[in-house]
Structure 1
């Protein structure tokens, strides 16, 4: 992009912005339009009606879905960031047999499609209920354990890449002053790893927030996430005379608000965390 002449660069940026913002603008206008107006294909509302944002809470259990998503995805994000930091610190700062195999395994796990693991995960949780009498399917724990398992390899690799960019001299100086490995991790590595932790946490959060496949199979109506609630609501509108397009668009925008807020709040950490390790 920087190699293009300035006028051409401006044209390309405008085109890209239109491609991104047009669907968002359509959803926004549709959410404040009547269902007849949306069904007729009108882009601009005949009259602005914010009632769709109030009616959606009684039409579908979106509030319960949002609460489940925030609890599960938030817990996965926090624990995944903490565990990935500990794992990356050991992999980067200590030499032991099998270290390279673990690092290569983290990369190899990224190539396994999550769809292939749906049946094994379901059978594993079903066997746990049969053998140990612990009910997992239909609870938030099923989603928590699943998302945490899938998010840890990538988050750990992100932290490995980030910690490689931190100078070892900081650790050595702290050890000269008598600091233990845990003190070095908490007092030195943790504060300096904030951008990498934000990237790892947001990735884990988005994994749990956007997932529909595992959440559809491993939950019941009381533990459904917002993504599943939105999917069920959309599927129930198919085949009707005039679906409630306005409420459907309003629900989609409401589900997108937490993700947009995360990016806006942690934008500067994301930029530095994603680019760390790119230049050595």
Structure 2
């Protein structure tokens, strides 16, 4: 029988994995990896503002992550060179957040938990917020699945079918902001992008359809959470990075397996 804190950690991790699986597929398909990274880094600034104004950390991080995601999406729509822009925005937001926390009077907070996550410290309230946020993200993606797929495949094709690519982009922007807010407690700001990208990238080696890739990404994320927690408990390693390590090992295994199958087929 698992202890309460372990059960809460496992349920929170599984909820985040279910949300990041399909969302991560769109991040991979649209080549938005750095976009997710910039949004995640902005979450630290959200933590600082939440502590300063004495509001919920979840609300602070979601608002700032949403603002960052909308700014990046707007700049991308105007044709800005996104590699440089994202680099400037991501690291500037992280630096401003870290500096802002140091100026808060009578506030002593361990930023390591926000940078790398602290899933074992998830409370019942945190779990409720994580589950609700993950359900919102999954619901958004399921609701707009066909539109998102068509807009990802071709914006011109989407427009000809009566789908507004800008609206679909905003759905992804909102979903990404919510995921950043709920995943901050699990893997931290520096590793959120990894949880989005690595399971989806591993699933791409196994899937033959978009729906199958999303399902595999959720499964790989869930296995990564379970394996990461096992590693953390057995070897006293940090929980967030341990989850990402398991995901990376699965990605390596699927990549090597796909390469072997391709080599055999070529013969």
TM-score by length of 1: 0.27
Bigger CA radius of gyration: 1
TM-score by length of 2: 0.28
Structure 1 or 2: more helix by fraction? 2
